[in-house]
């Protein structure tokens, strides 16, 4: 059975809403709010005619902010939001000085809609998911922030529309089917992430993609219920490939502008109640965020953030392993800024806690180690956890695609100079540049083999009959056609929002809200406009980050080139080798098989739970996915 949600701290807000087409029908979101009880002690509901909006939030004295706001005549909003640059937005909205201090983020969103209509997301900065009811137009306008930091799920039951910040809220609405989406199940069991930003594990439930808006017209709902087509389709408002080019006079000017934007993004995410914590891995992204957060908090007269590492604590008597350079990098950052770091060792109990949750709901950890971090952060009273996640796709991108662009555009003299600067000979040029361009699918298979996997392992532990009936789609390879093309593809793929949705749902259990400064819209748009040479200089990848943070981070952190992290992955495999066989024993002892066992080759799954194979790490993703998906 799955673990209940247990709260040690007040959680963050979530929202919901329901629109019904049938006249005279009573509309209420009470069942949805009941299903969302784990998201806050206070439940607010508003209804008018055929629409109802609701929210769950913490009490006002514990940091809860109104998520339902109203503006006469005929406008109401349900908003899960944390807006940035509020002063500029209030200026643009011409908010009188006397009214500014009392306006919640939902109030500003509603005023932005009243001013700019469906174009309002282009005037908002921050993390948000919201729905505005416009009584005059009889429409519900829904939007999600550019990168998907806040979740938004929805469905079109017969004659209606329902949305919520959690899948279980949508499923609780009348008429929403809980039938599984078998394509998503097949992809999950073969270790492939959901390939789109729209699908969930349930046929009826969809996600509003990041950077998209959805307008629901009341008159279309009755017609849509009897049609195979959706009554409304998401429309994209944020297009990373269309960001204008950045122009600066020098490398120093680029670095200075980036550091200013990054500092502002971090400081904007310090707003709110309760202690702020930060991930710290010793890499550029997390180290930069942690240091800027420490300095921003000190300027506010607050203590520096507690830091949390995925690396296990070292035995004080044992020497530091030669490959574990991350420990020294973390220590250098902590010594410079006076930070206290908690090395959060994953335990077999953490693994069991994750595997007992329903794998068909968000909250599946992209990295199992985050369960230990959440446990440690909650014990420290942390309410907000800053993460460097997303830096690799933005400001600390490694420049992939630049050589291919030079090759395809015929700039061969420049290409030769770039290869010499990187120390790249003909053989490596063929393997790293030409073959990925010509045969992206083949190179994806080779990377699997280099990672210790086999091509056969893509079958996972999926039931053979199910796999023949519904063949999983192949993982789409990335074809490098230039730096901007590669970044845009990565930013719009499912892996970014999938982790944020999972961490948002799992963080609720301990009242932790995640924030991602390097995915700030201002930072991303600046990064997307950079010339390619700002990402790579000779052997130095991630050039801009190293150059911009040279006066912020210890020199050894800026100079560190490798992103390999064996000091984390080896202990992870060891803990899995201890925990997974015990889970297999529990599964084998069940009197009746789980209802979802029809999708899983349970005999093969149990046979794969061998400690030696788990330590080799060949199928661990598939094994964990299957064990969590099974409702045992």
- Does 244-396+492-563 match 14-182+192-238 at the fold level? no
DSSP classification of residue 199? B
Q: pLDDT at position 69, please?
A: 85
Dig out the tokens for 546 from the structure: 């190293």
Q: What beta strand segments (E) does 148-241 contain?
A: 153-155, 160-164, 206-207, 212-217, 235-236
Cis peptide leading into residue 365 (ω within 30°): no
pLDDT in tens, 107-119: 999 999 999 999 9
pLDDT in tens, 422-454: 888 988 888 888 888 887 766 655 655 555 454
- CATH class in words for 14-182+192-238: alpha beta
Using CB atoms within 10 Å of the CB of residue 287, give its burial: 0 to 12 exposed, 13 to 18 middle, 19+ buried. buried
- Alpha carbons 308 and 376: distance in angstroms, whole number: 8
- Structural contact between residues 128 and 109, judged by C-beta atoms closer than 8 angstroms: yes
Strand, helix or coil at 571?
helix
Domain 244-396+492-563 has CATH 1.10.3720.10: no
Residue 434: count other Cβ atoms within 10 Å of its Cβ. 14
pLDDT in tens, 6-26: 333 344 589 999 999 877 678
Q: pLDDT at position 8, please?
A: 36
Q: What is the mean pLDDT of residues 450-471?
A: 69
Where do runs of H (alpha helix) occur along 529-601?
Answer: 543-548, 555-559, 566-588
Q: pLDDT at position 359, please?
A: 86
Q: pLDDT at position 367, please?
A: 78
Cβ contacts of 54 within 8 Å, gap of 6 or more? 15, 16, 17, 29, 30, 32, 33, 43, 44, 45, 46, 68, 78
Strand, helix or coil at 277?
strand
Task: Check pLDDT > 80 for residue 476.
Answer: no
Q: pLDDT at position 6, please?
A: 32
- Alpha carbons 130 and 486: distance in angstroms, whole number: 30
pLDDT in tens, 283-294: 999 999 999 999
Strand, helix or coil at 77?
strand
**Among 320-324, 517-521, 593-597, which range has the highest average pLDDT?**
517-521
Q: What is the mean pLDDT of residues 120-142?
A: 96
Q: What is the mean pLDDT of residues 226-233?
A: 63
- Alpha carbons 7 and 12: distance in angstroms, whole number: 11
314 vs 356: which has the higher pLDDT: 356
Closest to 507 measured CA to CA, from 405, 415, 386, 346: 386
Closest to 128 measured CA to CA, from 78, 87, 171, 72: 78
Where do runs of H (alpha helix) occur along 300-347?
Answer: 325-337
Q: Whole-number mean pLDDT of the chain?
A: 86
Q: What is the mean pLDDT of residues 486-502?
A: 89
Dihedral sign for Cα 320, 321, 322, 327, please.
negative
Q: pLDDT at position 621, please?
A: 84
- Alpha carbons 127 and 131: distance in angstroms, whole number: 14
pLDDT in tens, 383-417: 999 999 999 999 999 998 899 989 988 999 999 98
**Among 215-219, 234-238, 399-403, 581-585, which range has the highest average pLDDT?**
234-238
Task: Check pLDDT > 70 for residue 459.
Answer: no
- Looking at 33-42, 338-347, 441-450, 529-538, which range is the least confident one? 441-450
50 vs 41: which has the higher pLDDT: 50
Q: What is the mean pLDDT of residues 78-82?
A: 94
Task: Check pLDDT > 60 for residue 628.
Answer: yes
- Alpha carbons 296 and 304: distance in angstroms, whole number: 8
Domain residue ranges in the chain: 14-182+192-238, 244-396+492-563
DSSP classification of residue 432? I
- Alpha carbons 523 and 128: distance in angstroms, whole number: 17
Strand, helix or coil at 391?
helix
Q: pLDDT at position 341, please?
A: 95
Q: pLDDT at position 230, please?
A: 67
pLDDT in tens, 514-544: 999 999 999 999 999 999 999 998 888 999 9
- Alpha carbons 210 and 514: distance in angstroms, whole number: 16
Strand, helix or coil at 357?
coil
- Alpha carbons 540 and 546: distance in angstroms, whole number: 9
Task: Check pLDDT > 80 for residue 272.
Answer: no
Q: pLDDT at position 227, please?
A: 43
Dig out the tokens for 606 from the structure: 């149990």
- Alpha carbons 309 and 330: distance in angstroms, whole number: 9
Q: pLDDT at position 98, please?
A: 84
């Amino acid at each position: 059975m799955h673990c209940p949600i247990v709260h040690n701290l007040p959680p963050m807000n979530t929202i919901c809403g329901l629109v019904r087409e049938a006249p005279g029908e009573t509309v209420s979101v009470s069942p949805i709010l009941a299903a969302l009880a784990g998201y806050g002690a206070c439940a607010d509901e508003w209804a008018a005619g055929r629409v109802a909006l609701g929210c769950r939030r913490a009490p006002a004295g514990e940091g809860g902010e109104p998520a339902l706001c109203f503006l006469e005549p005929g406008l109401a909003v349900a908003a899960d939001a944390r807006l940035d640059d509020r002063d500029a937005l209030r200026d643009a909205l011409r908010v009188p000085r006397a009214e500014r201090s009392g306006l919640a983020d939902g109030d500003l969103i509603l005023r932005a809609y009243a001013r700019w209509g469906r174009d309002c997301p282009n005037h908002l900065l921050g993390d948000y998911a919201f729905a505005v009811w416009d009584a005059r137009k009889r429409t519900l306008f829904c939007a999600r922030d550019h990168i998907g930091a806040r979740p938004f799920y929805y469905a079109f039951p017969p004659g209606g529309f329902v949305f919520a910040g959690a899948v279980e809220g949508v499923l609780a609405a009348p008429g929403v089917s809980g039938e599984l989406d078998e394509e998503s199940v097949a992809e999950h069991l073969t270790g492939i992430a959901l390939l789109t930003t729209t699908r969930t594990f349930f046929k009826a439930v969809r996600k509003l993609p990041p950077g998209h808006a959805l307008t629901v017209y009341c008159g279309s709902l009755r017609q849509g219920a009897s049609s195979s087509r959706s009554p409304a389709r998401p429309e994209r408002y944020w297009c990373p490939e269309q960001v204008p080019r950045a122009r600066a006079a020098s490398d120093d000017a680029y670095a200075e502008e980036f550091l200013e934007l990054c500092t502002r993004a971090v400081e904007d995410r310090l707003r709110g109640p309760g202690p702020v914590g930060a991930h710290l891995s010793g890499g550029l992204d997390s180290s930069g965020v942690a240091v800027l957060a420490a300095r921003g908090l000190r300027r506010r007269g607050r203590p520096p953030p507690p830091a949390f590492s995925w690396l296990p604590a070292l035995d004080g008597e044992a020497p530091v392993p030669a490959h574990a350079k991350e420990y020294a990098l973390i220590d250098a950052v902590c010594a410079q800024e006076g930070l206290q770091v908690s090395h959060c060792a994953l335990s077999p109990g953490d693994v069991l806690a994750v595997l007992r949750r329903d794998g068909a709901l968000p909250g599946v950890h992209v990295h199992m180690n985050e369960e230990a971090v959440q446990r440690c952060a909650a014990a420290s009273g942390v309410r907000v956890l800053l993460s460097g996640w997303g830096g690799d796709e933005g400001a600390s991108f490694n420049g992939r695609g630049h050589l291919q662009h030079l090759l395809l555009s015929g700039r061969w003299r420049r290409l030769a100079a770039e290869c010499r600067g990187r120390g790249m000979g003909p053989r490596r040029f063929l393997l790293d540049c030409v073959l990925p361009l010509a045969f992206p699918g083949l190179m994806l298979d080779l990377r699997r083999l280099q990672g210790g996997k086999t091509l056969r392992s893509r079958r996972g532990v999926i039931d053979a009959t199910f796999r023949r009936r519904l063949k999983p789609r192949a993982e789409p390879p990335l074809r490098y056609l230039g730096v901007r093309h590669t970044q845009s593809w990565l930013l719009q793929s499912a892996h970014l929002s999938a982790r944020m949705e999972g961490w948002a749902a799992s963080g609720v259990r301990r009242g932790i809200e995640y924030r991602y400064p390097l995915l700030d819209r201002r930072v991303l748009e600046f990064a997307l406009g950079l010339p390619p040479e700002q990402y790579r200089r000779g052997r130095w990848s991630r050039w801009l980050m190293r150059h911009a943070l040279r006066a912020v981070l210890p020199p050894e952190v800026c100079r560190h080139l490798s992103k390999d992290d064996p000091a984390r992955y080896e202990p992870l495999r060891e803990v899995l080798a201890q925990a997974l066989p015990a889970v297999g024993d529990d599964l084998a002892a069940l009197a009746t098989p789980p209802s979802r066992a029809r999708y899983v080759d349970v005999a093969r799954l149990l046979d794969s739970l061998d400690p030696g194979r788990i330590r080799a790490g060949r199928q661990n993703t598939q094994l964990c996915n299957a064990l969590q998906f099974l409702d045992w």
